A and B are shown apart, each in its own frame.
Chain A
Amino acid sequence: MNNNPLSPHIQIYNWHISSLVSISHRISGVINILSLSLICFWVWSLFLGNESYEVIFNFFNSFIGKFFVISFVWSYSFQILSEIRHWFWDLGYGFELKTSKITGVLVIVGSIIITAFLYSIRGILL
């Protein structure tokens, strides 16, 4: 049986909203862990004095740094919204095809809106 070929799977299978949100949930989870480590490192650098703090501060204000910050804000927004969707699923609601499609779109669109909102009011927060 080992000589028999394996039929194509992920190469040919269509993406649905639900599968796209599912894999994004995982990816954003991994990004969140990495970003948390970076933020912890930043906090820790406070103890080493002003200079080391400024290295990371300047990085976050550079072009690439801003890209990182926006990505982190998005991945947290996405994770939180998607997790809320999972809570409802755990309670047994929202499994109908139409509902899951709508909530999936809401998670994607919502995460983008929240990201834009949080980033645009960052001046007020800091």
Chain B
Amino acid sequence: MVQINLPKNSEVKKGYYYKDKTGSKNIRKVNIYRWDPATGENPRIDTYEVDMDNCPSKVLDLLNKIKNEIDPSIAYRRSCAHGVCGSCAMNMDGKNGLACTKPHSEIKGDINIYPLPHLRVLKDLIGDLSTLYKQYESVQPWLKTTKKIDDTEHLQSKDDRSKLDGLYECIMCACCSTSCPSYWWNGEKYLGPAVLLQAYRWIIDSRDEDRKERLKKVADELKLYRCHTIMNCTNACPKGLNPAKAIASIKKMLATS
């Protein structure tokens, strides 16, 4: 269901202001979404003045600096810091992306950091992705074959292998799914760009023998056809992939098979 306004308990209030203590001349304001499950209060926006002369280039560096030097209570996910694990996906400057690959110099004015949109917040910048993971499980993202090969790999031609390019690189960071208005309004039933791209990755794999069943399972008014080509997913993907195209390819396969 389309619900434009946030529920009462989710309305964002003004939070604390942390003034710069270093005396630096090169200051930027960073506004960060905060919610502490222990207090039961509404979420708030805390503002931090950060000394940019001693801050490395990415938004994640900025967050680390704030956590290390200004406010250790702030919570966010991060791991590899090289755009491979997908942990630090968040909304920066009104667009989803990975904090570890997004340079803060690309952001003009104050730096606004929110959790991924339209998720239940667990704490601060950490959203609950368990629905998405359940949906991922539902497309059975593993090779299904009756061939029993024990001593070599499952071979495929170079041509068949190239069909997986632009799909296998997906790191399931959820930037795309949580940028999609269709997924916001129908997230329980619509699978969303990330899961559909993964579904397509297995549908198109020449080694998989379950293509027909996979297509049948995904051919659903709500699961698949809630995609209206809004293209927010492709705009958001930090790996430069094209979930909108993958979804269209599934639709095309269904229309022509």
A binds B: yes
Give A residues with C-beta under 8 Å from B.
1, 3-14, 16, 18-19, 22, 86, 89-92, 95-97, 100
Whether the pair A95, B184 counts as a contact (CB closer than 8 A) is: no
Cross-chain pairs A/B with CB under 8 angstroms, 10 sampled = A3-B9, A10-B117, A13-B179, A16-B231, A18-B231, A19-B230, A22-B230, A90-B251, A95-B231, A97-B234
Main secondary structure of the interface of A (DSSP, over half): loop
Q: Shortest Cβ distance from A39 into chain B, in angstroms?
A: 27
Q: B residues engaging A (CB < 8 A)? A: 4, 6-7, 9-10, 12, 33, 35, 37, 40, 42-43, 91, 93-95, 112, 114-122, 127-128, 179, 181, 184, 228-232, 234-235, 242, 244-245, 248-249, 251-252, 255
Q: Which residues of the partner chain A approach B7 to less than 8 Å between Cβ atoms?
A: 5-6
- Closest B residue, CB atoms, query A91: B252
Does B4 contact A10, Cβ atoms closer than 8 Å?
Answer: yes
Q: Are B117 and A13 in contact (CB under 8 A)?
A: yes
CA A89 to CA B244, docked complex, whole Å: 10
Please indicate the chain B residues that have their CB under 8 angstroms from the CB of A3 in the complex.
9, 40
Q: Are A4 and B122 in contact (CB under 8 A)?
A: yes
- Measured CB to CB, the closest approach of chain A to B11, in angstroms, equals 8
Partner of B117, one of A1, A12, A97: A12
Additional A-B contact list (4), CB under 8 Å, known A8-B10, A12-B114: A3-B40, A4-B128, A6-B118, A7-B120
> Hey, which chain B residues are within 8 Å of A13, CB to CB?
91, 94-95, 117, 179, 232
- Please name the 8 residue pairs, one residue from A and one from B, whose CB atoms are nearest each other, closest first: A14-B94, A18-B231, A5-B10, A95-B245, A9-B117, A9-B118, A4-B120, A7-B115
CB-CB < 8 A to B6: which residues of A? 5-6, 8, 11
Instruction: Name the distance in Å between B60's Cβ and chain A's nearest Cβ.
Output: 19
Q: State A11–B242 Cα separation when bound (angstroms).
A: 25
Measured between beta carbons, the chain B residues less than 8 angstroms from A6 are: 6-7, 10, 118-121
Q: How many A-B residue pairs have CB under 8 A?
A: 108
Task: Give the CA-CA distance A3 to B249 in the complex, in Å.
Answer: 39
Closest B residue, CB atoms, query A4: B120
- Closest B-chain residue to A11, C-beta based? B6
Chain B residue numbers with a CB within 8 Å of A19 are: 181, 230-232
A90 contacts across to B, CB distance below 8 A: 248, 251-252, 255
Please measure, in the bound complex, the distance between the C-alpha atom of A18 and the C-alpha atom of B121, giving whole angstroms: 28
Residues of A with C-beta under 8 A to B232: 13, 16, 18-19
Determine if A7 and B252 form an interchain contact, defined as CB atoms under 8 angstroms apart: no
Contact A92/B248 with A7-B119, A8-B6, A10-B184 known, Cβ cut-off 8 Å: yes
Q: Which residues of A contact B93 (CB under 8 A)?
A: 14
Distance between A13 CB and nearest chain B CB, rounded to angstroms? 6
Complex Cα–Cα for A19 and B94 (A): 14
Once the chains are docked, how many angstroms separate the CA of A9 from the CA of B178? Answer: 8
Complex interface: chain B residues within 8 A of A18 (CB)? 229-232, 235
Q: Are A8 and B12 in contact (CB under 8 A)?
A: yes
CA distance A14 to B6 in the complex (A): 17
- Shortest Cβ distance from B112 into A: residue: A12
Nearest chain A CB to B227's CB is how many angstroms away?
10
In the complex the two chains form, is B112's CB within 8 Å of A95's CB? no
Q: Which residues of A contact B35 (CB under 8 A)?
A: 4-5
Determine the chain A residues whose CB is within 8 A of the CB of B118 once the complex forms. Answer: 6-7, 9
CB < 8 Å: which of B9, B10, B248 contacts A89? B248
A contact residues around B252 at 8 Å (CB): 90-92
